[in-house]
Amino acid sequence: MIGFFIKKSFYDLWDNLFKIVALNLGFFACFTITVFLPRWAVQFFDSSTAGFVFLLIGIFICSIYMASAALAIKPISDYGNFSFKDFVEGFKTAWPAGLVMGAFVSFIILIVTFVIPFYLGMQPVMVGLGLAAIIFWTGFFAILSFQFYFSVIARLGPGLGKALKKCMLIAMDNTGLSVFLIFHNIFVLILSAFLAFMFPGPIGVLLYLDQALRLRLLKYDYLEANPQADRRKIPWDELLIEEYEKTGNRTFRNFIFPWKD
């Protein structure tokens, strides 16, 4: 499943190259606001508190943008297409999910910036280290779960409470995949740095997560139809037969000169 996931994701990214770049440009504009708005606020209001408040505003702007993009790019994973009208339409239903993710990101920043350093400086040292470790691993599991949040909203409905529950269940039931995706997407972002984060970039990461969730849901469809099946032995080759046929194989010539086929 992992090999097919990487292959199909790359095909879909390539086929939608210019749209992915355009959405990444939009995110970069939001990110620029997040970076420079706090600095402006500190100078204008002469207050570090104002800078922190505007940083939070920027985080929420980026999160709402990403939520809208997640809904817009969902058709790509389904062998479809999307227009920027889909992005605008997605905003109408995605902004609450964006606010939730913005709150989560702000909370993680607070934990990393203040809470963990506070406990690391506690006396006795072992107590502080123990508490810091508990908070760190709790936060790590939260990140494992929340990485699916936008994809769950896009695929399984906008109910925020149910989405949070489903994210945790997916992460617990698919720990290996969840950890793989964390490091895979970090690697993707590092590679994106050489292209100024324009491709695959943050939107590419969203597409990877949506692809992974879409394929993983095939497992649950199979288990629902076969309740006696072994959860540890999912027949992925059988489940992905139709996916293999739809995706096909391409040569280097196909990528560069698709119109010559």
Length of the chain: 261
**Contact predicate 78/214, CB 8 Å:** yes
Q: Which of 9-18, 41-50, 210-219, 248-257 has the lowest mean pLDDT?
A: 248-257
The answer to whether residue 50 sits within a structural domain is yes
For residue 252, what pLDDT is reported? 63
Bigger pLDDT: 205 vs 42: 205
pLDDT digits (tens, 9 = 90+) for 178-212: 999 999 999 999 999 999 899 999 999 999 999 99
The answer to whether residue 260 sits within a structural domain is no
Q: Is the pLDDT of residue 76 over 90?
A: yes
**What's the mean pLDDT when you consider all of the chain?**
90
The answer to whether residue 261 sits within a structural domain is no
Give the confidence band of 258 by pLDDT, cuts at 50, 70, 90. Answer: low
Exposed / middle / buried, residue 10 (Cβ in 10 Å: 0-12, 13-18, 19+): middle
Closest CA to 27 of 214, 211, 163, 205: 205
The answer to whether residue 71 sits within a structural domain is yes
The answer to whether residue 205 sits within a structural domain is yes
Residue carrying structure tokens 């970069």:
28
pTM: predicted TM-score of the whole model, two decimal places: 0.92
The pLDDT of 117-121, averaged and rounded, is 90
Report the number of distinct structural domains present in the chain: 1
Q: Is the pLDDT of residue 157 over 90?
A: no
The pLDDT of 9-24, averaged and rounded, is 92
The answer to whether residue 32 sits within a structural domain is yes
For residue 253, what pLDDT is reported? 67
Bigger pLDDT: 259 vs 188: 188
Q: Give the span between the Cα atoms of 158 and 152, in whole angstroms.
A: 8
For residue 100, what pLDDT is reported? 95
Distance of CA 21 to the CA centre of its chain: 17
Q: Give the span between the Cα atoms of 54 and 122, in whole angstroms.
A: 31
Could you count the other beta carbons within 10 Å of the beta carbon of residue 226?
A: 11
Helix (H, G, I), strand (E, B) or coil at 174: coil
The pLDDT of 13-23, averaged and rounded, is 92
The pLDDT of 12-27, averaged and rounded, is 93
Q: Is the pLDDT of residue 257 over 70?
A: no
pLDDT digits (tens, 9 = 90+) for 209-242: 999 999 999 999 999 999 898 888 899 999 999 9
**Structural domain boundaries, residue 163:** 2-255
